Amino acid sequence: MGSTAEEFLIASEEKAFDVDHRRIINNNIDKYSTSVARGLSRITNLDNAKRKGHVIKWKVMENLDKFLPEFEANFQKRGGKVIWANDAEEANREILNIIQKANAKTVVKSKSMVTEEIHLNEFLQSNQVESLETDLGEYIVQLLGQKPYHIVTPAMHLSKEDIAKLFHERFGTPADATPEQLTQKARELLRDKYLTADVGITGANFLLADTGSIAISENEGNARLCTTFPKIHIAIVGIEKIIPSIADLDLFWPMLSTHGTGQNLTVYNTILSGPRQPDETDGPDEMYVILLDNGRTNLLAQKDQRQGLYCIRCGACLNVCPVYKNIGGHAYNTTYSGPIGSIITPHTKGMDEFKHLSYASSLCGRCTEVCPVKIDIHKMLLLNRRDSVTEHLVTTKERWGWAIWKKGMLKRSFADFFGGKMKNFLLRTFFKSTWGHLKDMPTVADKSFSKQWQERNKTEE
């Protein structure tokens, strides 16, 4: 087994040359891009809205130690329970404790990237607990034994024909079933599960400090079913999802929906403030919120890069990234792919193993342009590259190579010392295997431009 970086290069090359894969992903991204452009055109002052979102998230990150306890106190007032988890192992253990205490055997899950981050499904199944995804996209990739492909649309890499074939093989639906028929079949399969499940697990898009609530946005209604029918509701949320007030949702809800899917507002927006109260007819008997760190405070400690925690998980940067559009989501081998994943993963999962993601960018800046909270993403990528060098996480060969390159480029006489033949030899010997195995390397002229210029001027004189 090679390193994570080597696996990334192999997977990237494979996907970049898979014409059918690129056709499907670009077709799906084009549809989103059209919808998003239409949605954004309805916002009167988009740049002002982005600036406001950036300032709110800046305020939160600079005062996280005040806002999180405020959320905890207000949530507990309504009978909810808060659990703090330092890492994935601790979060999984706490969830299993709740499930075992209730003698529960079945769990229904709404789409949640945080549960993917801690590999919750695999953990529960290894402990004899059935965990079923109820979001249609997540359900499809779960049936295939795959991970979500995209932050917002987990099955973006599949065509309707692929899904029809899967349902035909698993459930006997017609091989040429329409998307409507496939959705209806999924509805039939999942409806009973909501009614019989012991526990519902969700993520949350936002934590509201002043009311002690969680806010969930969705388009299918499955999260509402997961939080209503089961007797126990567990929400697992990254600590960076906090916002100061319920009033801030009038900014963040429309910005999330327009940048994510182009909608004015997501179909279902729910605010939950604890378990069912004595005068209420719906809701769980117990509600838990697990506040997950799992490396987020490592990023918070980086003053230059903590902007990465402002992310509201809209997926806009993935949809415009030329690298993502060529290699897709699975090649990254991380929960959070694309530009945003490339800036946060080296800090949450280790710079040594994941520094290569910060180099998987053309630095075109489109990710920064579209970000709804104005994260300076391409600058963060450069800062990660800087850190990997200053922390001596590059190979000796790479360090010496760039040192020699720098010396040669800073002084004309050094650059001219090696003639064209030597430079061509170096290109063929050292760069062909990494840069040139898919294309012809350029041929350097025998004499440099400055040399030719000097000779020409002497001749004229």
What pLDDT digit, counting tens, does each position of 204-241 carry?
A: 999 999 999 999 999 999 999 999 999 999 999 999 99
| pLDDT confidence bin for 1, thresholds 50/70/90 | very low
For residue range 303-360, list pLDDT tens digits in order.
Answer: 999 999 999 999 999 999 999 999 999 999 999 999 999 999 999 999 999 999 999 9
Task: Give yes or no for a contact between 294 and 303, defined as CB atoms under 8 angstroms apart.
Answer: no
The count of residues in the chain is 461
* pLDDT averaged over every residue in the chain: 92
How do strand 199-202 and strand 81-85 relate by DSSP bridges?
unpaired
Burial environment of residue 444 by CB neighbours within 10 A (0 to 12, 13 to 18, 19 or more)? middle
Above 70 in pLDDT, residue 435?
A: no
| pLDDT confidence bin for 451, thresholds 50/70/90 | confident
Q: Which residues pair with 50 in a beta bridge?
A: none
Above 70 in pLDDT, residue 179?
A: yes
Given this model, what pLDDT does residue 357 score?
A: 95
| pLDDT confidence bin for 439, thresholds 50/70/90 | confident
Q: What percent of the chain has pLDDT over 90?
A: 81
Residue spans of beta strands (DSSP E) within 298-419: none
- Residues near 175 by beta carbon (within 8 Å), at least 6 away in sequence: 164, 165, 168
Given this model, what pLDDT does residue 231 score?
A: 96
* Sheet with 199-202, edge to edge strand ranges: 81-85, 286-292, 232-238, 199-202, 106-109, 130-133
CA–CA distances in Å: residue 135 to residues 111, 139, 140: 6, 6, 9
What's the rounded mean pLDDT across residues 390-411? 82
How do strand 130-133 and strand 286-292 relate by DSSP bridges?
unpaired
Q: What percent of the chain has pLDDT over 70?
A: 98
Burial environment of residue 329 by CB neighbours within 10 A (0 to 12, 13 to 18, 19 or more)? buried
Identity (one letter) of the amino acid at 299?
L
What's the rounded mean pLDDT across residues 285-290? 98
The whole-angstrom separation of Cα 317 and Cα 29 is: 11
Q: Is the dihedral of CA 222, 224, 229, 231 positive or negative?
A: positive
The whole-angstrom separation of Cα 25 and Cα 162 is: 13
What's the rounded mean pLDDT across residues 83-95? 98
What's the rounded mean pLDDT across residues 38-43? 93
- Could you tell me which residue, 195 or 439, shows the higher pLDDT? 195
Domains of the chain: 43-294 (3.40.50.10420), 396-460 (no CATH)
| pLDDT confidence bin for 409, thresholds 50/70/90 | confident
Task: Give yes or no for a contact between 209 and 243, defined as CB atoms under 8 angstroms apart.
Answer: yes
The whole-angstrom separation of Cα 285 and Cα 337 is: 36
